[in-house]
Amino acid sequence: MKHDHFVVQSPSAPAKQLLLLFHGLGDNPVSMGQIGSWFAPHFPDALIVSIGGVEPSGPAPGRQWFSVQGVTEENRQARVNAAVPAFVEIVRHWQKESGVGPHATALIGFSQGAIMSLESVKATADLASRVIAFNGRYATLPVTATTATTVHLIHGGEDRVIDLAHAVAAQEALIEAGGDVTLDIVDDLGHAIDDRSMAHALDHLRYTVPKHYFDEALSGGKPHDDDIIEMM
């Protein structure tokens, strides 16, 4: 399907992991691709692609997934719901293009891109195995969750655009629903990503063992061979 994107890294051999990046409101895939460059050295076997929002927003080349003009707590979910099918279709497109399944796919979003990443796995349980949500939130908090997706919330302690309280509430809701979640609060950081945020993200992708591994072990199951890779 046609959409704005920027390929940060394409391995010469078939990809073993898929990292998809999603920018914030009014930003663009090339700019968000700079974040992808932090991941590339650590995951040389990964296809890393920065994806642009489906609508123009502000001066070119700014993009968005949904309009925030007149957005309220009451109408935000409907706007996100309208955008989720295209978002999911794009993720599925790159999974097919790369030959990498949901078990080795990570969605990495900032702000509106984090909202869409969180909401897409809320709506589609088998979409990805990891979400890295920088300074994001849910449109409305989930009431059900699955350990098939591990959610890593990373949030600036001084964020005045999306308040830290939204990340705390998201963590609490996912734990209550039986999901798999971590939360890292970056002190004195506003609505941004810095080297501390990136360190948390890289550490989680490399070293945090998903809860579903333990669940499978307790039930006598065995992880899919392709799950046993560095990122996951």
Give the tokens for residue 175: 């734990």
DSSP H helices, 177-231, are 195-207, 211-218
Please confirm, yes or no, whether 111 is among the known catalytic residues.
yes
Q: Beta-carbon neighbour count of residue 219 at 10 Å?
A: 8
Q: What is the residue type of 112?
A: Q
Q: Which residue of the set 3, 4, 191, 215 is catalytic? A: 191
CA dihedral 221, 128, 124, 113 (to 10 degrees): 150
Q: Which residue of the set 50, 155, 159, 166 is catalytic? A: 159
Strand pairing of 55-56 and 63-64? antiparallel
Q: Beta-carbon neighbour count of residue 221 at 10 Å?
A: 11
Q: Beta-carbon neighbour count of residue 225 at 10 Å?
A: 8
Please confirm, yes or no, whether 45 is among the known catalytic residues.
no
Q: Which residue of the set 50, 57, 98, 111 is catalytic? A: 111
Q: What is the residue type of 97?
A: E
Please confirm, yes or no, whether 159 is among the known catalytic residues.
yes
Catalytic residues: 111, 159, 191
